[in-house]
Amino acid sequence: MKENLPVDELKEVISKTKESYNIENPSIPFIEGDGIGVDIWSPSKDVFDAAVRKAYNNERKIDWLEVLAGQKAFDSTGEWLPDDTISQIDDYGVGIKGPLTTPVGGGIRSLNVAIRQKLDLYVCLRPMRWFKGVLTPTKNPQDVNMVLFRENTEDVYAGKELEATSEEVIKLNSFLKEEFGWDIREDSGIGIKPVSKTASEKLIRAAIQYAVDQERKNVVLVHKGNIMKFTEGAFRSWGYELVKKEFSDVAVSWEDCGGDPGDKILIQDVIADAFLQQILIKPSDFDVIATTNLNGDYLSDALAAQIGGIGISPGGNINYETGRAMFEATHGTAPKYAGQDKVNPGSLLLSGEMMFRYIGWEDAADLLIAAISDAIEKGIVTYDLARGRENATTVSTSDFCNYLVEFIES
């Protein structure tokens, strides 16, 4: 398949993806997840089903198809991530999953990363918004309304490492000194982080097109190009080149407009460490973020803290060029809480809301947001969101989801 589609072809694929789900009974694969996956998946599915029934007058229904990954897959098949799981997600196109454990020992470093890489889900999409009633460490959490596009296939995810003092690192160190004159301490571990023009353009193109579609006012390219000039600095440069080549009718760089974009989307860039400060000081200034993998890791957790924690932070991994996507709870498996029916299912529920919007089921997504907003504002929440809040009613995972179903059906 052709890679790095220009924007006109990309828009066509995005439209066709939504059209393919304009049916009454689509099949959507799901992975229950490890640890607390057993607690959050089933009641969350009940909420998803209720939203679909209400939004479409009982004329649509999702056929949920379980596929295996993680401990459940290993116990059943002897494999942590069976080929059949990847094949079915690839065949059906869009899926959703709970948290997965990281296998101990050799082989797969991370099941989450493996799924992203096998399906080339090059965008990690993380919308960040505050829900009224959630306690946060910041003064004005309502000002946070950003969408993070994190590159999902390169940088540290595709990086290579050699252990300090190993035979391999000694050979590489010698080569680097002889060929480039690089003098690296002999007891250093060495890592390589690839950042390509192809992957950078794909990520930034998706971010700008999202800003166009959602009528956002700006896109900020976050990088550490002042130090890493040929990787992160190149990411910045390739982004600005792409704006001029494919988006000049709808977007303009800060350099070309002096900060006054008129009716166009403003494209700017900020050094990563400065941006971590700016999202605290003036979060309302930023809309859509496009960044490399490691920066995105830091930023997603920092922004999650500003809105009340990772428990209400959803995520999606998307290849806009093929239409493939996997939406997911962004937190860990929390095995010590498994089976207690007490944890917050918010991340999975909101990831389902993202999934509905991705496939064009906006009415179901709107119902989910309305129900979750109502529950949180009224203080009908799980223990983590009740902590420190006056007059909150602490409920179980299942009771929280039951409340959402009742709200949706009312």
- 179's enclosing H/E stretch is helix 167-180
Residue with tokens 């440069």, as numbered in its chain: 237
The residue from 21, 122, 157, 240 that is catalytic is 157
In one-letter notation, the amino acid at residue 375 is A
Do 120 and 56 contact (CB within 8 A), yes or no? Answer: no
Do 21 and 326 contact (CB within 8 A), yes or no? Answer: no
The DSSP string of 217-228 is SEEEEEE-TTT-
The backbone torsions φ and ψ at residue 190, rounded to the nearest 5 degrees and listed phi first, read -125, 135
From the centroid of its chain, how far is CA 195? 19
User: Tokens in use for 311?
Assistant: 């428990």
- 318's enclosing H/E stretch is strand 314-318
The residue from 46, 143, 256, 297 that is catalytic is 297
Catalytic residue at 297?
yes
The residue from 143, 273, 366, 374 that is catalytic is 273
User: Tokens in use for 358?
Assistant: 């991705």
User: Tokens in use for 132?
Assistant: 């009224």
Catalytic residue at 157?
yes
Exposed / middle / buried, residue 129 (Cβ in 10 Å: 0-12, 13-18, 19+): middle
User: Tokens in use for 175?
Assistant: 């080569």
The residue from 224, 320, 358, 403 that is catalytic is 224
- 64's enclosing H/E stretch is strand 63-66
Catalytic residue at 273?
yes
**Which of the residues are catalytic?**
157, 224, 273, 297
